[in-house]
Amino acid sequence: MICLEMLYFASYSGDTDSSIVRDTWARFTDHALSKGGIAEACSALTRIGSHVYSGDDAVLPLDTLCLHLEKAALDQMVSGAETVGDEDVARALLAACKGSVELVLNTYDQLLTTAAVLLSPTLKLRLLRSVLVVLGEWAGSVSACRMGSSPIGASLVLRGTFSLDQRTAINHGIRDKITSAANRYMTEVTRLALPQSQTESVYSGFKELELSLSTSFSYDRF
């Protein structure tokens, strides 16, 4: 904790060495994993990450943390040592970077093309399950904002920051992004060299998300 906070303050002067940051986080994560498994590691990431995150990945290397935790989660599940939910790692990353959905999604996008992931269909499927969670959270926030039921959405409605037409256009633009991403990830799922019995639920999840957004879009037009 103290080491991570020191790196956080050092980042303001531009002195932070990315290799030192990554190594410090790796040791911190390994310690949490040995102490209490994925649950403890995700809790620690949420707690410490949200404390040091300052809007970029200078002191919060999401790619390193994401791959480390997702691989550990898969290992724990395969060995039967721990039950890990599809949402555990993804939501910890979102909480650590204070809800920056696109930042987390971009991190998963980058990892899905790395050799470590491409060479392991089961790991790639694990990441795609997490991506589905991230997209679902994003879609949910758009819906909440549209209804003014989220803190952000409600504040915009009350303050009149955007007109109704502007809010509608923004929401439609985001929904288009999510729909396009869901469609792309469905294709990724179909390309996995795994039995359909393992991939079907993930494919269906992306498909259902795509359909729900299309239905919502059609409803908003009237």
pLDDT for 159 beyond 60: no
37 contact partners, CB below 8 Å, separation of at least 6? 76, 81, 82
In terms of domains, do 156 and 209 share one? Answer: yes
Single out the residue in 98, 125, 146 at which a domain terminates.
98
CA dist 54 → 10, 43, 100, 203 (Å): 12, 19, 11, 35
d(CA 3, CA 1): 5
Answer whether residue 105 is part of any domain: no
- According to the model, what pLDDT value does residue 153 have? 44
H or E element that contains 10: helix 2-10
pLDDT for 118 beyond 80: yes
CB atoms closer than 10 angstroms to residue 63? 15
- According to the model, what pLDDT value does residue 7 have? 56
Single out the residue in 98, 122, 147 at which a domain terminates.
98
- For 135-162, what is the mean pLDDT? 60
In terms of domains, do 118 and 221 share one? Answer: yes
Q: Which domain holds residue 87?
A: 1-98
CB atoms closer than 10 angstroms to residue 82? 16
Answer whether residue 103 is part of any domain: no
At 179-190, the pLDDT tens digits run: 999 999 999 999
Closest by Cα among 58, 132, 59 to 89: 132
Q: What is the pTM of this model?
A: 0.83
In terms of domains, do 152 and 220 share one? Answer: yes
Q: Is 193 exposed, middle or buried (0-12, 13-18, 19+ CB in 10 A)?
A: exposed
Answer whether residue 5 is part of any domain: yes
In terms of domains, do 173 and 203 share one? Answer: yes
> Pick the residue with more confidence: 11 or 71?
71
Number of domains forming the structure of the chain:
2
In terms of domains, do 212 and 164 share one? Answer: yes
- For 145-171, what is the mean pLDDT? 50
User: pLDDT over 70 for what percent of the chain?
Assistant: 75
> Pick the residue with more confidence: 56 or 32?
32
Q: Are 48 and 28 in contact (CB under 8 A)?
A: yes
| Residue 11: both structure tokens together | 């980042």
Answer whether residue 92 is part of any domain: yes
- According to the model, what pLDDT value does residue 172 have? 77
